[in-house]
Amino acid sequence: MRLDKFISNNTDLTRSIIKRFAKDGLISVNGKVTKDTSIHISDLDTILVRGTEIRPVGKAYYMFNKPSGIVCANSDGEHLTVIDLVAEQELQSYEKNTQAPSPYDLQIAGRLDLDTTGLVLLTNDGDWNHKVTSPNFSCLKCYHVELEQDISDEVKQFFTDGILLEGEKKKTKPASLTIEAPRKVLLEISEGKYHQVKRMFSAVGNKVVKLHRQSIGEIQLDPELPEGKLRRLTLEEVNSVYALKNQSDNNTGSNK
């Protein structure tokens, strides 16, 4: 990789500033000052800019415990965002000898509504994010739901069979509904349509009054993680997403 590209990829410096720093003798490769930013470097080279070592940005994976009233976005003119809260905390990369990404380079894998609480995943790994969010990988999301009205056992079959939501042409994928109390249920879905959980219960004549996401795939919200805080995922948690298979490869006739 070219020296200038490496520095620009892993810092906030523009190409023009990098060239100026090089001209002023502020960039070195393996201890030797270089004014040629077009040279190619390897992973073994040590790059210093103004005396600071520049390391590549590593892949990073986090869970975040989202409070109510926080927007799942990088920026918002009215509300605090997940990224606003993440930016206040120390980030760590997943790979050795790498630097953590900027919080503003993180992607939110599985967004939640403003008033919904619980598990949100963040990463700078686009392939990993795709496995979490694409319906083709059928990554299960589990929600604790509190309802306005009592729910009966008969309603469970609608979720199992799939529900045709308003404005949609196809039914939702089969979902698993467990009734824990007359107005409290546990719902597992493998999609992420717009306001899907709320729309599903609206379609069967009920209304969601409280919604909390407990898990995504095999990743459970850490009970020790306070609201508004994040922690780095374990290797096992990261690999559980990598292990997801593309269901469309084996079941092209499935209801997507």
Q: Where are the beta strands (DSSP E) in the chain?
A: 27-29, 32-33, 47-49, 52-53, 61-66, 107-109, 117-123, 141-147, 176-181, 184-189, 208-216, 219-220, 230-232
Which candidate in 36, 113, 150, 222 is catalytic? 113
Element (H, E) at 163: none
4 is catalytic: no
Mode of pairing for the β-strands spanning 208-216 and 117-123: parallel
Question: How far, in Å, CA of 103 to CA of 101, rounded?
Answer: 6
Angle between helices 235-242 and 126-133 (to 10 degrees): 70
Residues 72, 78, 79, 81: what is their CA dihedral angle, to the nearest 10 degrees? 40
Which candidate, 157, 212, 153, 148, places its Cα nearest to that of 186?
Answer: 212
Residue 152, both tokens: 């009966």
Residues identified as active-site: 113
